Amino acid sequence: MVSRVIPVETFDLVIFGGTGDLARRKILPGLFRRFCAGQMEDGARIIGAARSDLDTAAYREMVREAVIEFGRGGTCDIGTMQGFLDTLHYVRVDARGEQGWQSLADMMLPDRVRAFYFSVGPGLFGDLAKRLHQYGMADASCRIVVEKPFGRDLQSARDLNAVLAQHFDETQIYRIDHYLGKETVQNLMVVRFGNMLFEPLWNSQYVDHIQITVAETVGVGGRGEYYDRSGAMRDMLQNHLMQLLCLIAMEPPAKFDPDAVRDEKLKVIRALGHIAPEEIVRGQYMKDGENGSYLEDANNPRSTTESFVALKAHISNWRWAGTPFYLRTGKRLKARTSEIAVVFKDAPHSIFGAKAGRHRNILTIRLQPNEGMELGVTIKEPGPGGMRLLDVPLDMSFAEALGEDSAEIPDAYERLIMDVIRGNQTLFMRGDEVEAAWKWTDPIIAAWEDRGDQPIPYETGSSGPDDALMLMHRDGRRWREIMI
């Protein structure tokens, strides 16, 4: 199965922070793969912009090394590297001063898509937006891409939105949540709205509960001090898990169009109910051999920031009243895995008797590793041993289904950057969505702070604190194993 690659319009993409970690790890290797796939038209240019004292030749060398180190292979021909490097340019620019801005402005070419990627800390967004205007680069058709974190609470998110809105229309602003760029996440929408099979069952009458897990094995490592100001709730749940929840729970949009999809997601966030303190568990990982504890990694012995959070959310609308959504995410857990599990209710009556046991259909959407979907169905255990029932998976692993072409599945950043060039905002967060998500999260965090809530220590390699297991046991349910 060969996927068709349609080249995007010729573009100039300026990456502010073009020397940074994100640019080297994700953005530039992603662009290289799109170049190899033939998606970049001749004449497209990528312009790195940062303060470091580099020229274009030195920047090309830096990018070549980054692509070799962080590119994920596939069918990219390393021999085409030179062609890619030729698209690269570098300008020394200081977001906070005047240095380099006129040179950058002089480089801009008319009659092509113009996009500016703000791959810098959010403290620089305002400066960049202002100077892009001041130097005449921000015409009405240009686009800006902004990274997470988009604020640390409702007020700071509003402030950021206001700063950007001074210079750009909402239709020009692309707020990245790379979870939305994952193939499976988009497939979730196709499975829901492209098949007759699931949507009639997609409600509280048939769905017992939904679990969303994003588990990491790494600790906070070198990001300890940054992470300590944020925590799992702000760093992961408010954005990534919330976006997954929206796609699972939203009503069918009238069409697959950016505002139609985002309107429906927004309604889900606004329907999220209050969460009681006993419906949330926070944790901090403990020391494990050579690996430091969270408190050591954060370099803050009195930190009350959580490296794990689990909660039970309720969506107060007709479709979902009575169906809880259990969300959890954390670091230093058993395995690196992200999945959504839609657990359907038991059949209303078992004609096979009590001995046949309890069987449930579970639709599992795996985001990583091995992106794919699996539907658990109940069948008869083969053989003459009577009517014994067995759960087996109807498995759709993309890697298996697509064979060698699975190497061609673009990663989230590749897809999202190409969507920016195409001018398609569907998979990007709108300003009001981000604000609504903070509006729901803020009181939860404020309540922890007010009562001096202490996270519960948990062991490295575990599934988080036992209290998180209890969160579901109390309801007669249990989490799925965290495993690859």
Q: Which chain residues interact with ligand NAP by CB under 6 A?
A: 16-23, 25, 50-52, 93-96, 119-122, 124, 147-149
Q: Which is nearer to ligand NAP, 18 or 465 (CB)?
A: 18
Q: Where are the alpha helices (DSSP H) in 211-335?
A: 224-228, 231-232, 242-249, 258-270, 294-297
First to last CA, the chain: 27
Q: What is the DSSP track for 147-178?
A: PSP--SSHHHHHHHHHHHHTTS-GGGEEE--G
User: 7 or 149, CB closer to ligand NAP?
Assistant: 149
Question: Smallest distance from the beta carbon of 298 to ligand NAP, in angstroms?
Answer: 17
Phi, psi of 204 (to 5 degrees): -70, -15
Strand, helix or coil at 50?
Answer: strand
Residue 366: CB atoms within 10 A of its CB come to: 21
Contacts of 200 (CB under 8 A, 6+ apart): none
Cβ nearer to ligand NAP, comparing 145 with 341: 145
- Smallest separation, CB 93 to ligand NAP (Å): 5
211 versus 338: smaller Cβ distance to ligand NAP: 338
473 is catalytic: no
Residue whose CB is less far from ligand NAP, 159 or 263: 159
Closest distance of CB 412 from ligand NAP, Å: 11
Catalytic residue among 89, 167, 209, 240: 240
467-472 long-range CB contacts below 8 Å, 24 or more apart?
467/281, 467/283, 468/281, 468/283, 468/308, 468/310, 468/328, 470/281, 471/279, 471/281, 471/310, 471/311, 471/312, 471/326, 472/326
CA distance 204 to 324: 9
From edge to edge, which strands make up the β-sheet containing 372-380?
389-397, 372-380, 362-368, 337-344, 207-215, 325-330, 308-313, 280-285, 456-458
How far apart are CB 170 and ligand NAP at their closest, in Å?
A: 20
CB atoms within 10 A of CB 73: 8
* Min separation Cβ 300 and ligand NAP, Å: 19
Count of residues in the chain: 484
Distance between CA atoms of residues 33 and 13, nearest Å = 15
In angstroms, give the least distance from the CB of 27 to ligand NAP: 9
Nearer to ligand NAP, 3 or 99 (CB): 99
**Which residues, other chains included, contact 116 with Cβ-Cβ below 8 Å and sequence gap of 6+?**
13, 14, 16, 128, 132, 137, 138, 142, 143, 144, 145
Tokens of 234: 């702000």
Residue among 94 and 263 whose Cβ is closer to ligand NAP: 94
Kindly tell me which of 147 and 183 has the beta carbon lying closer to ligand NAP.
Answer: 147
What is the spatial distance between Cα 362 and Cα 141, in angstroms, rounded to a whole number? Answer: 45
User: Of 119 and 213, which has the nearer Cβ to ligand NAP?
Assistant: 119
Question: Rounded to the nearest 10 degrees, what angle do helices 242-249 and 183-194 cross at?
Answer: 20
Q: Classify 315 in phi/psi space as left (phi over 0), alpha (psi -120 to 50) or beta.
A: beta
In the complex, the smallest distance separating the C-beta of residue 28 from ligand NAP, rounded to whole angstroms, is 11
Which residue number places its CB atom closest to ligand NAP?
20
Query: Min. distance of Cβ 49 from ligand NAP in angstroms?
Result: 7
What does the DSSP 8-state code read for residue 52?
A: S
With contact defined as beta carbons under 8 Å apart, do 428 and 419 qualify?
yes
Query: Helix (H, G, I), strand (E, B), or coil: what is residue 289?
Result: coil
- The DSSP bridge pattern shows strands 325-330 and 337-344 to be unpaired
Distance CA 324, CA 301 (A): 35
Tell me how far, at minimum, the Cβ of 123 lies from ligand NAP, in Å: 9
| Catalytic residue annotation | 240
